[in-house]
Amino acid sequence: MNVAVFSTKPYDRRFLDAAVSGRHALNYIEARLDPKTAVLAGNARIVCVFVNDVVNEAVLDEFERLGVRLIVLRSAGFNNVDLAAAGRSGIQVARVPAYSPEAVSEHAVALMLSLDRHIHRAYARVRDGNFALDGLLGFNMHGRTVGIVGTGRIGQGVARIMLGFGCKVLGYDPEPSSACEEMGVVYRPLQDLLATSDIISLHCPLTPATRHLIDAAAIGVMKRGVMLINTSRGAIIDTKAAVAGLNEGRIGHLGLDVYEEEEELFFEDKSDEVIRDDVFERLLMFSNVLVTGHQGFFTVEAMTAIAETTVANIDAFVRTGRPVHMVV
Ligand code: NAD
């Protein structure tokens, strides 16, 4: 079966080639999918996309014209797909519901520890021969209260690690998990969690209900100096409100692996370009802000699992007409 793979990087080819082992013809396309590039799918019946590919109505109309029957996401999140339009076009959508959630959980904790102990600043200082400790004062994780918004697979992984550190872990989720409660997570209403946590880590999906869940009002109820971590989706935080919170000292540390306007930036080398995004540039001016370019998923284990599940979705579709993991 011909498969058009959008937003392909060399590392995607490496893991997909290993998983597919010649069973399907993968046409690797470097371009990001949008209404202008959709035509590159050519004669493929299956299109494979990643998190910043745009799968809107215009793209789906073009795919319907080309005869595309299935879209396989190389991700868990599917907020970039217009599911209603896909339904109208008769195009099925599949995803990778769970791939090594520990990869993202551990990255969230890496951001927490780096910010707390100022590792990003210490690294630069020591290389510059500056061994002064002023400005590098941290705090013990042990005994702190960590609030986890969204206690699904990734949130649960963060909870497990933070409980291991001796933190008190609070959770907020419209669907609380008994496994989390058994582990020691205490569920609280969102406002209570925001008001009492020293560290808040976001792990809910991006939906209309969670867009700008963390806005000026939410930041207003947080403890002064709170650490806020987002490895979920950028638009869960109103970034302008976060910049204001940093200016006022209400947010003491901000760790982001995702950014609401990341489509124009992440996964590309922009080091020779002027970044024309004033909000992003402003974020980078704060020494208590640490941004990584959506790399939470980027471990050998996760990349292997993503490739294998993507190919399993393709295999099942070719065999039975339905992928294994349909997006509902
Ligand atoms: P999951 O489906 O296992 O868990 C999500 C949880 O969020 C569920 O328990 C759900 O009930 C809860 N939730 C839904 N609406 C909520 C709300 N309004 N408030 C609080 N909780 C709510 O998903 P997961 O595998 O844990 O992934 C979580 C998110 O992480 C994904 O949606 C994706 O956006 C993001 N993600 C990021 C990366 C990365 O590389 N940074 C990689 C994978 C996933």
Catalytic residue list contains 233: yes
* Ligand 1 atom closest to residue 152's alpha carbon, by position in its atom list: 4
pLDDT averaged over the chain?
97
| Integer angstrom CA distances of residue 1 from 14, 228, 261, 327 | 19, 44, 34, 21
Q: Is the pLDDT reported for residue 264 higher than 90? A: no
What gap in Å lies between CA 20 and CA 2, rounded to an integer?
12
- Radius of gyration for the alpha carbons in the chain, expressed in angstroms and rounded: 21
> Is residue 305 classed exposed, middle or buried when 0-12, 13-18 and 19+ CB atoms within 10 A define those classes?
buried
Region 51-80: mean pLDDT is 96
Cβ atoms of residues 178 and 210 within 8 Å: no
Q: Which of 232, 256, 259, 325 to mutate to test the pocket of ligand 1 (most atoms within 8 A of CB)?
A: 232
Region 147-165: mean pLDDT is 98
What gap in Å lies between CA 324 and CA 54, rounded to an integer?
23
What pLDDT sits at residue 250? Answer: 97
Q: Is the pLDDT reported for residue 328 higher than 70? A: no
Element (H, E) at 23: none
Cβ atoms of residues 2 and 23 within 8 Å: no
Domains of the chain: 2-99+300-320 (3.40.50.720), 101-291 (3.40.50.720)
Q: Please give the distance of CA 289 from its chain centroid, rounded to a whole number.
A: 17
Q: Is the pLDDT reported for residue 207 higher than 90? A: yes
Q: What is residue 256's three-state secondary structure?
A: strand
Candidates 314, 299, 288, 321; CA nearest to 117 is 288
Under the banding of pLDDT at 50, 70 and 90, the label for residue 291 is very high
pLDDT tens column, 242-256: 999 999 999 999 999
The conformation of residue 39, written as its DSSP 8-state character, comes to G
Q: Is the pLDDT reported for residue 99 higher than 90? A: no
What pLDDT sits at residue 77? Answer: 87
Region 280-297: mean pLDDT is 97
* Ligand 1 atom closest to residue 151's alpha carbon, by position in its atom list: 9
Region 254-282: mean pLDDT is 94
What pLDDT sits at residue 98? Answer: 87
Q: Is 259 in the pocket of ligand 1 (CB under 6 A)?
A: no
Q: Is 234 in the pocket of ligand 1 (CB under 6 A)?
A: no
Catalytic residue list contains 262: yes
Q: pTM here? A: 0.93
CA dihedral 210, 214, 220, 225 (to 10 degrees): 140
Cβ atoms of residues 184 and 169 within 8 Å: yes
Catalytic residue among 118, 233, 250, 325: 233
Region 295-317: mean pLDDT is 97
> Is residue 281 classed exposed, middle or buried when 0-12, 13-18 and 19+ CB atoms within 10 A define those classes?
exposed
Catalytic residue among 107, 250, 294, 325: 294
Q: Is 95 in the pocket of ligand 1 (CB under 6 A)?
A: no
* Residue 173 CA, ligand 1 centroid: distance in Å: 10
